[in-house]
């Protein structure tokens, strides 16, 4: 059955309505030959008189009347429901769970449930039920799967932290090495005594005590490094193989401690390696198997 739209004298569109409804309005005097009509599916507005299907109705009494705009009581088309913002937010937060290990997904799950409840109670005024449902499902999925990437990530984070601590410890020993070399340069190339080396080198490291402390060393010790006693009070120029001769090395702790390999900690702090500074100024991570190859004598 063909459908039509009618243009009232208030320039508002009414319809779509059937041809029978148009004929009824003609009979009631609510539409006439000059009333603008458009067949659904077309874009052209034409006077009602140009539609042959209404010719008979226009010839009946009342067909010539011109109705006021208020005479046509046709309800305008209902506005589409407004999409719930909570539904959209739920889906976005659920998807972001892949970047936040499921943290945002928890919020997305809550908002998705709230959005579904509000949409159901809105009696058609709110839309986005599919978005809310998708947000709820995606959020719940990421919450269930979050422990998996977290379990994979934690060992990597622990390894990275261990590496960062090792780098900090190497930096400490590097500064102590340079401080000892600078001390010798200022004292006729003679290194400090073993019983006061920490005090002697402290001014050459900016007066700070933080370089004496390894981040993983015992917290109740002022210093976690020792000075090679074989070099104490000796001339730095007399060291035959400085690139292989130990200058500073890790110990369990103690201020102004000097000695040899007997002071090395039993439990190494950096993934099975010890930080050792050499007389030429360079620093290395040394594995226990290589400790016997190090030079302690000048």
- Does the residue 67 lie in any domain? yes
Among the residues of the chain, which ranges form H helices? 19-27, 55-58, 85-100, 103-121, 129-145, 147-186, 197-201
What's the CA gap between 155 and 83, in Å, rounded?
43
Asked if residue 286 is part of any domain, the answer here is: yes
272 and 212 both lie in a single domain: yes
pLDDT in tens, the chain (298 residues): 688 888 887 788 888 888 888 888 888 888 888 889 898 888 888 898 898 888 888 887 654 444 444 444 444 545 678 888 888 998 898 888 777 777 888 888 898 899 888 888 887 788 888 888 888 898 888 778 766 666 666 677 777 777 788 888 999 999 999 999 999 999 999 999 999 999 999 999 988 889 999 988 888 899 999 999 999 999 988 999 999 999 999 999 999 999 998 998 878 888 788 899 999 999 999 988 887 888 999 8
Q: Which of 41, 71, 101 is the last residue of a domain?
A: 71
Please say whether the beta carbons of 115 and 134 come within 8 A: no
pTM value? Answer: 0.51
Residue 265's Cβ-count burial label (10 Å; 0-12, 13-18, 19+) is middle
What phi and psi, each to the nearest 5 degrees, are found at residue 215?
A: -55, -25
- Structural domain including 13 reads 3-71
Query: Where among 71, 98, 120 does a domain terminate?
Result: 71
Helix (H, G, I), strand (E, B) or coil at 149: helix
Indicate the helix (H) or strand (E) that contains 284: strand 283-286
Domain total in the chain: 3
C-alpha to C-alpha distance for 38 and 15, rounded to whole angstroms: 10
CATH of the domain at 43: 3.30.1490
**Same domain assignment for residues 288 and 213:** yes
Both 141 and 166 in one domain: the answer is no
Judge if 194 and 226 occupy the same domain: yes
User: In whole angstroms, what is the distance from residue 181 CA to residue 187 CA?
Assistant: 10
Distance CA 55, CA 59 (A): 7
């Amino acid at each position: 059955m063909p459908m039509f739209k009618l243009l009232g004298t208030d320039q508002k569109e009414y319809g779509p309505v059937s041809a029978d409804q148009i004929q009824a309005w003609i009979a009631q005097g609510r539409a006439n030959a000059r009333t603008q009509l458009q067949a659904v599916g077309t874009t052209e507005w034409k006077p009602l008189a140009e539609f042959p299907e209404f010719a008979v109705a226009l010839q009946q009494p009342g067909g010539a009347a011109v109705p006021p705009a208020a005479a046509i009581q046709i309800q305008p088309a209902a506005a589409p429901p407004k999409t719930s913002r909570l539904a959209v937010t739920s889906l976005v937060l659920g998807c972001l769970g892949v970047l936040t290990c499921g943290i945002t997904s928890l919020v997305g799950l809550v908002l998705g449930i709230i959005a579904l409840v509000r949409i159901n109670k809105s009696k058609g005024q709110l839309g986005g039920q599919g978005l809310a449902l998708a947000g709820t499902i995606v959020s719940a999925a990421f919450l269930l799967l979050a422990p998996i990437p977290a379990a994979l990530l934690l060992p990597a984070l622990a390894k990275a932290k261990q590496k960062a601590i090792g780098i900090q410890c190497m930096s400490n020993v590097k500064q102590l090495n340079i401080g000892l070399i600078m001390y010798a340069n200022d004292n006729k190339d003679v290194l400090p005594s073993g019983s006061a080396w920490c005090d002697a080198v402290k001014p050459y490291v900016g007066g700070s005590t933080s370089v004496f402390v390894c981040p993983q060393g015992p917290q109740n010790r002022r210093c976690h490094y020792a000075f090679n006693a074989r070099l104490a009070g000796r001339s730095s120029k007399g060291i035959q193989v400085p690139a292989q001769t130990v200058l500073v090395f890790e110990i369990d702790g103690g201020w102004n401690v000097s000695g040899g390999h007997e002071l090395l900690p039993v439990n190494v702090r950096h993934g099975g390696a010890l930080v050792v500074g050499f007389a030429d100024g360079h620093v290395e991570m040394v594995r226990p198997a290589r400790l016997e190859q190090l030079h302690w004598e000048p």
